Structure 1
Amino acid sequence: MAFTPAKWPRKLRSQEWYGGNSRDTIYHRGWLKNQGYPNDLFDGRPVIGIMNTWSELTPCNGHLNELAQKVKAGIWEAGGFPVEVPVFSASENTFRPTAMMYRNLAAMAVEEAMRGQPIDGAVLMVGCDKTTPSLLMAAASTNLPSIVVTGGPMLNGWFRNERVGSGTHLWKFSEAVKAGEMTQDEFLEAEQAMSRSTGTCNTMGTASTMASMAEALGMALSGNAAIPAVDSRRRVMAQLTGRRIVQMVKDDLKPSDIMTKQAFENAIRTNGAIGGSTNAVIHMLAMAGRVGIDLTLDDWDRCGRDVATIVNLMPSGKYLMEEFFYAGGLPVVLKHLGEAGKLHKDALTVSGTTVWDEVKDAKNWNEDVILPLEKALTQQGGIAVLRGNLAPNGAVLKPSAASPALMKHRGRAVVFEDIDDYKARINDDALDIDETCVMVLKNCGPKGYPGMAEVGNMGLPPKVLKKGITDMIRISDARMSGTAYGTVILHTSPEAAAGGPLAVVKNGDIIEVDVEARRLHLEISEAELNDRLSAWKPLHERPQSGYAKLFQDSVEGADTGADFDFLKGCRGAPVGRDSH
């Protein structure tokens, strides 16, 4: 049946460009027709922007061009007009100094692409760590109907009959080489087994965590997060997503309708249940800031503290994303949270129904992968938010990846002034350090690195590793990969480069960590701390030009999401003047 504008309850935004017969609309319409589009595509049907983060330098997203074709098919089937729009793609494994430095740039670029072009709704095609939050931040800012489809995780890695988790085993094997337990040749052989298909990390790293966060928030179709990249059901999900966005435009179902405070609380509790990445804290705070939701570190601690980690995946557990999908995926986790009274069941999703309607019939097909509550990896998962004179604005730790014996500890600080200092000294057997010490890394926060690199999970010194020690307390203003593990305290705020207390920690200072009491304390007097802070000077000069200057001038602290101060809030997507 022919599509007619009368089916739509209101004039679509794209008709400001393409509707009517004025000089300006003929200008816009005529140029687009050079691609062979017939007249009736401009008759008032919704134009859907497929915001595609495909790039050959973003390996995790390298298959999104193929997936986009399925999205297009779904949009055509539902009566929409799909247009594929390549957008900024911040690759975790190629961008220097760190992909996190470009998350805000990507969000700003995508926001303006959505605001300044004739689209009525958007499909956000994401995968690699920063692409998911950056596009969700953009969608929250423009508030156009939007839906997420992720690229999916790669297949399990295998090396000598052992599961190889991307990222997790990179750190594990690297430490084994330093400890003399693995040869360099064996490490190189294992490299070939780490990434054997297209897709994102197969652990519960940041990519899989953020895919889960998108689903838990209600911004992706139910079941989207865990489908492997190469599974045919991933392509089906893409096509269904294409169909769904057309109806979302018709219903005017916007991010602000879905990304509510209740939805964020659902996602926080989900993060605890899956043993998700600490990076989710920063990204979710930034996303909430864009949509205008008051979300804080205290919400993370309050909502996640009594949530058990029941997903037995690396780096916290044993399995990988492939098994998680076969076991039933995220819908099983959300159902468990609902049955435990830890889910806002009436939160709306992009499906147009509630989250509970989507998951109430989910089945757990493998209780060794998605564990019963009594067999949880830890009864208190979530993210622990520590405070004290060393972190007045907070620091975070992931209990499910930490060593229980180190959750309450008092030790001597061994201080590294920046990442270069760490690299220069860590392998020196003369370094005065043992397993009882607390490793402290400074100047790696949002302003300090700059960009806040994933260096917080500092490798242990070889002299300690050779004793068979595999974990020590590490404190920094940096981030760590979601694939990493250990008793690692991160995001210490204010950061060292902004003159936070971390900046004035000295070698030999005693630091007390008490995770249960949520305490992070530098054992010096208040007067001594104030004297040190008064005498403090920045370690590095600030950049004087370019994006690096904009970044350091405008980036906020990790405790509020490390977004740019001028990008907070939902600005909408009004149609501007046409000067043609």
Structure 2
Amino acid sequence: MGKKLRSHDWFLRSGKMGFMYRTWLRNQGIPDHEFDGRPVIGICNTWSELTPCNAHFREFAEYIKRGVYEAGGFPLEFPIMSMGEPLMKPTAMLFRNLASMDAEETIRANPLDGIVIIGGCDKTTPSALMGAASVDLPTIVVSGGAMLNGKFRGKDIGSGTDIWKFSEEVRAGRMSEDDFREAEGCMSRSCGHCMTMGTASSMAILVEALGMSLSGNAAIPAPDSRRKVLCHESGIRIVEMVKEDQKISDIITKESMINAIVVNAAVGGSTNIILHLLAIAGRVGIDLKLDDFDKYGSHIPLLVNMMPSGKFLMEEFYYAGGLPVVLNELKDHINLDLITATGKTHRENISGAECYNQEVIAPMDNPLINNAGIVVLKGNLAENGAVIKPSAVIDQRLLQHTGPAVVFENIEDLHNRIDDLDLEIDENSIIVLKNVGPKGFPGMPEVGNTPLPKKLLEKGITDMIRISDGRMSGTAYGSVILHVSPEAAVGGTFGIVKEGDMIEVDVKNRKLELLVSEEELKERKANWKLKEKVYTRGYVSIYQEHVNQAHLGADFDKLVGNSGKEVSRDGF
């Protein structure tokens, strides 16, 4: 029978307890030999028809089960809350922590020895991984894969990225509503998540870079049969991981997180990765700081030519060789000798990796951009930090700029006034959007890439500095400063910015300063009042009370730290 597993406390029991644990499972047609002590594998499925990116996961679960059975395991599939970024209001990020709690408590409470996470849409992967990390069982991640390229009038179009572009074209009068609607039907033409280097693709790359998936997981398109093969092979591997007792904490370490930061920079990955990686680090007990993203990633060159920082999509990335090629190019900047979920090191996994299209994946000696990683800005406007993604900036001159603030107190204020022809704003102004942070919204929505005023679009302006305490989609672009911490709603300096205040942005020197005297700032803060909580019941009220600031990953203060796999009491 081998070593004792968690599931043995359920299924190998004698008497009343064992009878109860086994008998009700038998109503699903489970034969007696499945209860013989073999590893029980939980398949954590984030499938939902309300999460379009994950709507194909039922089929993937069946291929994972094949692999589990082949390896001598007993698979049991279970759902957790699924968060679809395209549909959920007010924002899927509001529910990431809730879904992580769902995953954590479901895993701990049940007779599971190992976990396969199936994740795709932006928040489903990090939430499930956060929950699993808190329990720390052997775990492997299977990503759902990206959609096939969008096709519109002979050109490839990318989810998210081209939505923002087309929307601005319509507002500027350069694209008709009919053409806009036609493009809508051309963009999402297969199962899968966003095929740009948005947060979903970035998370798929992140889990492979961390070592939490099989090699090659990140880039296989969702409809490609090779992803089903990967599902099958992941099912086999998780049984082996249980037998080897290879846990999340054996794979996710400070060094593997540094690897992930470097890789995210090289692929032009999403700024949302910062929040998710910080939250995962908190669950595993790793001391990862916001400054680490600048320290380890900001000097890394951009190697992957993908929207929104380039022109290609995930299909081309896969055909060019995928993440193994990028890891090989980064061999002097990351630790390839860390163990991964394959049971081997990255170095072993990527042996023989070859680039088949250097226009898609550039070599280190001829990158697309020399310094492309996320930069952390600090100053009196963001004492705990704010972030910017230089590779997504359109007008590089804006990386060093001083201009007057045009202030919007909340998202409704922005929507009501941004296209007002009497709004006093020009291309030198700096848009300030307050109260869209973790507590202030609440939930930290993807509204940081605010639309440009219509009157500036009509002048041909395509970029200007925008600052918020919120997030932006990984598919978005522009001179956008995000995640300002402390946020406006908790009394940070960001909350007392006034119309016309001069703001200095100096990305090279990591500065974000409100050019107002200390005396004036003190007076404003003395007069600032904390707004009453908008929500007084339910999950959202709990969220507002317990969510940490962005520089800590916006996890709940009560969830930081590893709580382990033990179930403290037996209920029967």
> What is the TM-score with the length of structure 1 in the denominator?
0.98
User: What is the one-letter code of the residue matched to 1:459?
Assistant: P
Closer/same/farther in 2, CA of residues 432 and 231 from structure 1, 3 Å limit: same
- Deviation, 1:20, is 2.9
Is it true that 1:484 corresponds to 2:504 in the alignment? no
Alignment counterpart, residue 428 of structure 2, candidates 423, 433, 436: 436
2:270–2:475: 8 Å Cα contact kept in structure 1? yes
109-118 or 538-547: bigger deviation: 538-547
SS in structure 1 of the partner of residue 78 of structure 2: strand
Give the Cα–Cα distance (whole angstroms) in 1 for the partners of residues 571 and 203 of structure 2: 40
Alignment counterpart, residue 305 of structure 1, candidates 298, 312, 323: 298
User: What is the one-letter code of the residue matched to 1:275?
Assistant: G
Alignment counterpart, residue 388 of structure 2, candidates 372, 384, 397: 397
User: What is the one-letter code of the residue matched to 1:475?
Assistant: I
Closer/same/farther in 2, CA of residues 475 and 232 from structure 1, 3 Å limit: same
Alignment of 1:226-265 (within 5 A): 226-265=219-258
SS in structure 2 of the partner of residue 394 of structure 1: strand
Q: Please name the residue that 1:177 is paired with.
A: 170
Alignment counterpart, residue 449 of structure 1, candidates 427, 441, 445: 441
- Deviation, 1:540, is 5.7
Q: Please name the residue that 2:127 is paired with.
A: 134
Q: Please name the residue that 2:502 is paired with.
A: 510
SS in structure 2 of the partner of residue 373 of structure 1: coil
User: What is the one-letter code of the residue matched to 2:359?
Assistant: D
Alignment counterpart, residue 354 of structure 1, candidates 329, 340, 345: 345
User: What is the one-letter code of the residue matched to 2:83?
Assistant: A
- Deviation, 1:372, is 2.2
SS in structure 1 of the partner of residue 281 of structure 2: helix
> What is the TM-score with the length of structure 2 in the denominator?
0.99
1:390–1:502: 8 Å Cα contact kept in structure 2? yes
Alignment counterpart, residue 385 of structure 1, candidates 362, 369, 376: 376
Give the Cα–Cα distance (whole angstroms) in 1 for the partners of residues 531 and 87 of structure 2: 26
Alignment of 1:63-82 (within 5 A): 63-82=56-75
Alignment of 1:457-536 (within 5 A): 457-536=449-528
Give the Cα–Cα distance (whole angstroms) in 1 for the partners of residues 315 and 451 of structure 2: 28
Closer/same/farther in 2, CA of residues 241 and 311 from structure 1, 3 Å limit: same
Q: Please name the residue that 2:207 is paired with.
A: 214
SS in structure 1 of the partner of residue 9 of structure 2: helix
Q: Summarize deviations over 1:444-467 as a string: whole Å, max 9, x none.
A: 000011100000000100100111
Q: Please name the residue that 1:543 is paired with.
A: 535
Unaligned runs of 5+ in 2: none
Closer/same/farther in 2, CA of residues 423 and 280 from structure 1, 3 Å limit: same
Q: Please name the residue that 2:109 is paired with.
A: 116
Unaligned runs of 5+ in 1: none
SS in structure 1 of the partner of residue 330 of structure 2: helix
SS in structure 2 of the partner of residue 491 of structure 1: strand
Alignment of 1:8-19 (within 5 A): 8=2, 10-19=3-12
Alignment of 1:247-396 (within 5 A): 247-338=240-331, 341-396=332-387
Give the Cα–Cα distance (whole angstroms) in 2 for the partners of residues 482 and 67 of structure 1: 25
SS in structure 1 of the partner of residue 482 of structure 2: strand
Q: Please name the residue that 1:25 is paired with.
A: 18
Give the Cα–Cα distance (whole angstroms) in 2 for the partners of residues 55 and 364 of structure 1: 36
- Deviation, 1:22, is 2.0
Q: Summarize deviations over 1:455-480 as a string: whole Å, max 9, x none.
A: 00001001001111100000000000
- Deviation, 1:374, is 4.2
2:330–2:364: 8 Å Cα contact kept in structure 1? no
- Deviation, 1:381, is 1.1
Report percent identity of matched pairs: 57
2:282–2:560: 8 Å Cα contact kept in structure 1? yes
1:13–1:575: 8 Å Cα contact kept in structure 2? no
Q: How many residues in Structure 1 have an aligned counterpart in Structure 2?
A: 571
2:42–2:78: 8 Å Cα contact kept in structure 1? yes
Q: Summarize deviations over 1:67-87 as a string: whole Å, max 9, x none.
A: 110000000000000011011
Give the Cα–Cα distance (whole angstroms) in 2 for the partners of residues 466 and 431 of structure 1: 14
Alignment counterpart, residue 417 of structure 2, candidates 425, 434, 437: 425
- Deviation, 1:218, is 0.3
RMSD (CA atoms): 0.9
